[in-house]
């Protein structure tokens, strides 16, 4: 299953209809008939997303959301509220309570599923942020929360001057950040600035090929704007554009004629999330560089990796979800060192480390355990997802030769290398509750040994049917 979703609706028909739509999309769906039942269900089995009907009988949806956000164990769960009403005050109240979105019923399947996918990515990012912050704290490198945040920069990219003026004038006094109007070309130039805009509000109807959707894609593809918050403004009747924008990387959607208060609330939430992610990257890149990274490859080292794996295992046990462990080992690496020299071997290790890291999801962790062996940890991953990922890693390493710099094996311009990978999965339904992460590494090691014996450049799993 792709994610665990809790439906909260006191109408049986509404629960059943939504359950069918989400189950058909391969989500793990549970349901609650009241706010109190929802809180009890979340306390026993946290969800990845809560979809709440706005007209609950026992507690308003906004109040349920407020209670969830006040609970440290539930605050990272995104909340999507479905409402029969387009009441402005109720919509803004729900957003102020912490809801990620309020969608008007009836919701088209494409729009709903795109929003679900987007919010599950939010949940994954939040979980990874907490996990890495907690691991960093164990090393004594947790960053103290900033007591003061500099104002952000918000770029408005509207289809016409009237829309841009309305957005800018409406936000005046509602946000402490600097608000600028930019053309699409100027927005793209942000990627080359020393400090790019923190957030973009992009009109769907921009007068350029592909409209606003093409600008979303361009901003996400450029290093300078890759981590910016993107809000996509579209017309209510064009739900398809909104769904496409979410799948292309937009963080949030807005009606083009949204109330300024709603735009401000959504911008504030997205800027807060961006700052949290920025702090995480600074902690990892700066505070942990010496204590937790391998000097040669820039990957995490054994000490960090084992602490991280322990945390993933505890989280998996709490949530009843699987996680995968892989051991990847370079094939015939001694031959590289013996024939081309240790300088060439260092180039190979650095290149392979980069290829593995680039082929993984952002939520996955890769570390160099020592020598030519790498550990990969993939949260919320079963064999059905882990094995194709491992095959992808093999291809990423083997498809192109490693170029060697002058002086690093000067007798060869490049060298072809491959890896063998052993895979094991822990956690999830039917798992051994007493299995330790160390035991899972041993399973992956046995699988790796078999992969070597089967000819190398291959993937083998340690599981009952493979024993």
H-run or E-run covering 426: strand 419-427
- List the single range of 130-139, 192-201, 292-301, 312-321 with lowest mean pLDDT: 130-139
**pLDDT higher than threshold 50 for residue 1:** no
- List the single range of 196-205, 224-233, 272-281, 367-376 with lowest mean pLDDT: 272-281
- Phi/psi class of residue 211: alpha, beta or left (left: φ > 0; alpha: ψ in -120 to 50)? left
Share of the chain above pLDDT 70, in %: 90
* CA proximity to 247, closest of 120, 423, 354, 344: 120
Quick one: pLDDT band at residue 136, thresholds 50, 70, 90? low
Which pLDDT score, from 0 to 100, does residue 7 have? 97
| 3 state DSSP class of 202 | strand
H-run or E-run covering 452: helix 437-453
| pLDDT: which is higher, 108 or 179 | 179
Which pLDDT score, from 0 to 100, does residue 432 have? 67
As a three-state string, the secondary structure of 84-114 is: CCCCHHHHHHHHHCCCCEEEECCCCHHHHHH
Quick one: pLDDT band at residue 10, thresholds 50, 70, 90? very high
**pLDDT higher than threshold 50 for residue 422:** yes
- List the single range of 110-119, 133-142, 223-232 with lowest mean pLDDT: 133-142
Domains within the chain, CATH numbers bracketed: 4-107 (3.40.50.2300), 153-287 (3.40.50.2300), 293-466 (3.30.70.270)
Neighbours of 12 (CB within 10 A): 10
Its sign, for the CA torsion 440, 442, 448, 450, is negative
Residue range 11-45, pLDDT digits in tens: 999 999 999 999 999 999 999 999 999 999 999 88
H-run or E-run covering 132: helix 109-138
Cα–Cα distance, 108 to 420 (Å, whole number): 45
Cα–Cα distance, 155 to 197 (Å, whole number): 6
Neighbours of 438 (CB within 10 A): 11
Q: What is the dihedral of CA 23, 26, 28, 29, to 10 degrees?
A: -20
* CA proximity to 78, closest of 291, 335, 307, 270: 270
**Stated pTM of the model:** 0.64
Length of the chain: 467
- Cβ neighbors of 143 (< 8 A, separation 6 or more) are 136, 279, 282, 283, 287
- Cβ neighbors of 144 (< 8 A, separation 6 or more) are none
Place of tokens 């990969």: 376
Quick one: pLDDT band at residue 2, thresholds 50, 70, 90? low
Which pLDDT score, from 0 to 100, does residue 408 have? 47
Phi, psi of 370 (to 5 degrees): 145, 150
Cα–Cα distance, 301 to 374 (Å, whole number): 9
Cα–Cα distance, 399 to 414 (Å, whole number): 13
| 3 state DSSP class of 230 | strand
* CA proximity to 287, closest of 276, 295, 297, 279: 279
Which pLDDT score, from 0 to 100, does residue 147 have? 47
Which pLDDT score, from 0 to 100, does residue 90 have? 87
Residue range 62-72, pLDDT digits in tens: 999 999 999 98
* CA proximity to 247, closest of 372, 98, 118: 118
- Cβ neighbors of 101 (< 8 A, separation 6 or more) are 80, 81, 115, 119, 252, 253
Contact 216, 250 (CB under 8 A): yes
Cα–Cα distance, 173 to 301 (Å, whole number): 47
Over the chain, what is the mean pLDDT? Answer: 88
* CA proximity to 420, closest of 465, 388, 455: 455
CA angle 362, 328, 304 (to 5 degrees): 55
* CA proximity to 197, closest of 265, 264, 274: 274
| 3 state DSSP class of 238 | coil
Share of the chain above pLDDT 90, in %: 63
Burial of 148 (0-12, 13-18, 19+ CB in 10 A): exposed
Place of tokens 């942020």: 129
Quick one: pLDDT band at residue 103, thresholds 50, 70, 90? very high
| 3 state DSSP class of 252 | strand
Place of tokens 């440290």: 72
* CA proximity to 431, closest of 281, 321, 275, 305: 321
Catalytic residues: 372
**pLDDT higher than threshold 50 for residue 139:** yes
Contact 460, 423 (CB under 8 A): yes
Residue range 206-263, pLDDT digits in tens: 999 999 999 999 999 998 898 999 999 998 778 789 999 999 999 999 989 999 999 9
Which pLDDT score, from 0 to 100, does residue 374 have? 96
Place of tokens 């995968």: 324
The secondary structure of residue 300, as a DSSP letter, is B
Residue range 252-295, pLDDT digits in tens: 999 899 999 999 999 999 999 888 878 766 665 565 556 678 88
Cα–Cα distance, 419 to 417 (Å, whole number): 7
- List the single range of 84-98, 339-353, 430-444 with lowest mean pLDDT: 430-444
Cα–Cα distance, 226 to 164 (Å, whole number): 23
Kindly give the residue spans of alpha helices, DSSP state H, lying in 298-436: 302-319, 333-340, 342-358, 383-398
């Amino acid at each position: 299953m792709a994610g665990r979703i809790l439906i909260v609706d006191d109408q049986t028909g509404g629960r059943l209809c939504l359950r069918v739509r989400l189950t058909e999309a391969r989500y793990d769906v549970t349901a609650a008939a009241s706010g109190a039942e929802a809180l009890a269900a979340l306390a026993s089995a946290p969800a990845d997303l809560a979809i709440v009907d706005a007209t609950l009988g026992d507690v308003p949806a906004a109040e349920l959301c407020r209670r969830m956000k006040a609970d440290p164990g539930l605050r990272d769960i995104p909340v999507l509220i479905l409402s029969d009403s387009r009441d402005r005050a109720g919509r803004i109240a729900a957003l102020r309570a912490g809801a990620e979105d309020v969608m008007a019923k009836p919701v088209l399947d494409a729009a709903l599923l795109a929003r679900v996918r987007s919010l599950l990515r939010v949940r994954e990012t939040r979980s990874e942020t907490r996990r890495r912050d907690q691991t960093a704290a164990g090393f004594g490198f947790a960053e103290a929360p900033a007591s003061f945040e500099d104002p952000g920069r918000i770029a408005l990219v509207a289809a016409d001057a009237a829309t841009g003026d309305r957005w800018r004038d409406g936000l005046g006094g509602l946000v402490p950040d600097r608000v600028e109007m930019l053309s699409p070309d100027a927005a793209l130039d942000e990627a080359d600035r020393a400090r790019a805009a923190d957030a973009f509000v992009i009109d769907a109807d921009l007068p350029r090929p592909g409209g606003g959707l093409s600008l979303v894609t361009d901003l996400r593809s450029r290093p300078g704007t890759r981590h910016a918050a993107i809000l996509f403004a579209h017309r209510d009747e064009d739900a398809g554009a909104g769904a496409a924008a979410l799948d292309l990387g937009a963080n949030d959607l807005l009606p083009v004629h949204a109330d300024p208060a709603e735009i401000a609330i959504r911008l504030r939430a997205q800027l807060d999330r961006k700052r949290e992610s920025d702090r995480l990257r600074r902690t990892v890149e700066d505070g942990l560089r010496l204590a937790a990274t391998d000097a040669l490859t820039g990957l995490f080292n054994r000490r960090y990796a084992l602490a991280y794996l322990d945390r993933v295992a505890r989280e998996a046990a709490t949530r009843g979800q699987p996680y995968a462990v892989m051991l990847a080992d370079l094939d015939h690496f001694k031959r590289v060192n013996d024939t081309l020299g240790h300088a060439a071997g260092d180039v190979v290790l650095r290149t392979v480390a980069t290829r593995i890291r680039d082929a993984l999801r952002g939520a996955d962790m890769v570390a160099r355990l020592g020598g030519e062996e790498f550990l990969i940890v993939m949260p919320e991953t079963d064999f059905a997802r882990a094995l194709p990922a491992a095959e992808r890693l093999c291809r990423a390493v083997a498809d192109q030769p490693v170029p060697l710099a002058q002086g690093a094996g000067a007798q060869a311009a490049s060298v072809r290398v491959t890896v063998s990978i052993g895979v094991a999965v822990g956690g999830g339904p039917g798992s051994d509750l007493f299995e330790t992460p160390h035991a899972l590494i041993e399973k992956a090691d046995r699988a790796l040994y078999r992969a070597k014996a089967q000819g190398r450049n291959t993937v083998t799993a340690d599981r009952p049917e493979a024993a």
